[in-house]
Each structure stands twice: as structure tokens, then as C-alpha cells.
Amino acid sequence: MKLWQWIDRPGHEASRLTRQGGGWLLAGTAAFAHEAKPCALTYAIECDAEWRTKRARVDGWVGERDIAIEIHVNDGWWMNGSEVAAVRDCIDVDLNFSPSTNLLPIRRLNLRVGEEASVRAAWLRFPSFALEPLAQRYTRIDETHVRYQSIASGFEALLTVDSDGMVNDYPGVWRLV
């Protein structure tokens, strides 16, 4: 279980990772402010034994707007009943409002020190909640550090991770409480 504090805005997130059947369940809740409006988002992401996203759900609100998103992966990516062809070849879901989903490619890739890999994540963008492809690169620096890069934007961060691959520090954005 983790509890993070958002550094660049008021807010926190709590999450936990549990075994579920033959796979994994990553679940959590983020409560924060966006444009001076309160937001509360609860998520649950189901992965298979190889850390491939199978299903994700996000519920809550952003100000007065209710959010209810159901994503499932079955011969394509489907969001609220409609196929999202742009993310068809993605394996990982990435929730733009959460540090927890970096865990999914970190665990799935299982990089050794010095190795790097590029992935395309199905990025649930905040606050639009559009599901878009996001090219990313992960580089294992040492046992507790992974460099994350967003290819299109050039954003880069040196993530401090625990032995499970969960982020403890996301410089300038999130920190473990």
C-alpha cells in the first residue's frame, strides 16, 4: 500500500496492489484540486500474470462532472462500449492523474540495470478522459531508480521505486508520505 502527496497541487492518492486469481489488481483513490475544483477519482486495474492490462475502471468526479469509465481489452481496447482503435497495439493503461500506473510496464518489462525499453501505453488523459496512445521509454538505472521518458513531449523523470516496482518518488509531481 502506498500514500502519495501531490507536489504541484493540493492532493493525495492511496493505492494498493493485490494478487487476484492468476493476475493482479491495482486499486486506489486520488483526491485533489484541479482549477480550484475538488476531484475524487477511484480506479481499479486488472492485469494478467504477465502484467498486461485486461480491464480498468475509473469512477468519481471532477468538480460538478461525474466520471464513469470502463475499459476492457479483448481483441482491441474498448472504452464505455466503443472500440478505441488508436490504442489497439498498447499493452499498459496509464492513468494521467496517478503515479501508480508506472508500476505496470516496470513490472511487465522487468528490466535489468542498464536495459531500456520503449512502450506505447493507452493513456487516459486528464481532465479530458480521452484514451490516447502515449509513446514512453523506461530505463533501469539501478535497483531503486528507473528513468521514465514521454517520447512526444520530451518529459523525463528519474523515478525512485521500491522492490515491487511501485513509485516512491516522482520528482516535482508526487512523493511518498
Separation of alpha carbons 171 and 173, rounded Å:
6
Record the cell numbers describing residue 153, joined without a space: 513531449
Cis omega (within 30 of 0) for bond into 133: no
Are the beta carbons of 87 and 132 closer than 8 angstroms?
yes
Per residue in 121-149, pLDDT tens? Answer: 999 999 999 999 999 999 999 999 999 99
Separation of alpha carbons 136 and 169, rounded Å:
18
pLDDT per residue rounded down to tens, the chain (177 residues) = 999 999 989 999 999 999 999 999 999 999 999 999 999 999 999 999 999 999 999 999 999 999 999 999 999 999 999 999 999 999 999 999 999 999 999 999 999 999 999 999 999 999 999 999 999 999 999 999 999 999 999 999 999 999 999 999 999 999 999
Kindly tell me the burial class for residue 146, based on how many C-beta atoms sit within 10 Å of its own C-beta (0-12, 13-18, 19 or more).
buried
Q: 110 by DSSP, 3-state: which?
A: coil
Kindly tell me the burial class for residue 49, based on how many C-beta atoms sit within 10 Å of its own C-beta (0-12, 13-18, 19 or more).
exposed
How large a percentage of the chain has pLDDT more than 70?
100
Separation of alpha carbons 167 and 114, rounded Å:
19
The helix (run of H) or strand (run of E) holding residue 138 is: strand 131-142
Question: Hey, where are the domains in the chain?
Answer: 2-176
